[in-house]
Amino acid sequence: MDIFEIEILNPKAKKLLQELANLKLIKFITKSDKRTEFKQLLKKFRSTKGKTISIDEITKEVEIVRKKRDNAKK
């Protein structure tokens, strides 16, 4: 899926885009939605108070992700 940010110069273009959205071919995402999603993600990450991760746990997780990525390339 590709995400584009566009500037609408002609109201007719907005009408065309709305018709595409009605056909479920595209979806409008407002900047405030992006900010809200980011804030929720930050809140989730920050809610792990008291949980510390050792360098060994981090290393293991990195190796797992790398292995999955390398296997996907094959």
Q: What is the pLDDT of residues 42-72, one digit of tens each?
A: 888 777 666 777 889 889 999 999 999 888 8
Q: What is the pLDDT of residues 11-25, one digit of tens each?
A: 899 999 999 999 999
The angle at the Cα of 16, spanning 13 to 18, to the nearest 5 degrees, equals 110
Q: Is residue 43 within 8 Å of residue 37, measured between CB atoms? A: no
Tokens of 57: 């746990």
pLDDT at position 40 is: 84
Rounded Cα–Cα distance for residues 74 and 61 (Å): 21
